[in-house]
Amino acid sequence: MTIPDLGADALPQVFGRPVPLPSGIDRPFHEGLAAHRLVLQHCTCGTWQWPPEVVCHRCRGFDPGWAEVEPAGFLYTWTRVWHPAHEALRAAVPYVVAVVEMPAAGGIRLVGNLLLPDVATADITTGTAVRGVFADQPGGYALLQWQPA
């Protein structure tokens, strides 16, 4: 699903374009986002892991594979940001940073913005079901953000 206008520019460009690590270990994740797919490391032993590593945390196999997973889960925790971490974010506050636990991916947790119509007064509850939405950004990449399911 593509993000609605609500969050297409939820936060201004401040820190530049996210790119894969120099080792390229997380390249499948970034390529997946650009294609509006959530692709995470998934070993043949069944283990999901994030952040990606060269070794599976469970079976110790080298070079775990990758698999697509539905971008859905629930709010594990969250915080409403009122004070900008950077002066370029001054116009963006308040915004909500969410940690989303994904049961379909072995319970791994991803961080992202929680998009809401009225961030300042929204009633936010840990455990709320959320779904991922992809926000296309200038420069040809997409961010994974979250909104209530």
pLDDT tens, residue by residue, 104-114: 999 999 999 99
79: DSSP letter: E
Contact partners, residue 137, CB within 8 Å, separation at least 6: 13, 17, 143
Residue 28 backbone dihedrals phi, psi, to 5 degrees: -60, -35
Cα–Cα distance between 93 and 73 in angstroms, integer? 25
For 44-91, the pLDDT digits (tens) are 999 999 999 999 999 999 989 999 999 999 999 999 999 998 888 888
Closest CA to 98 of 82, 114, 120, 85: 114
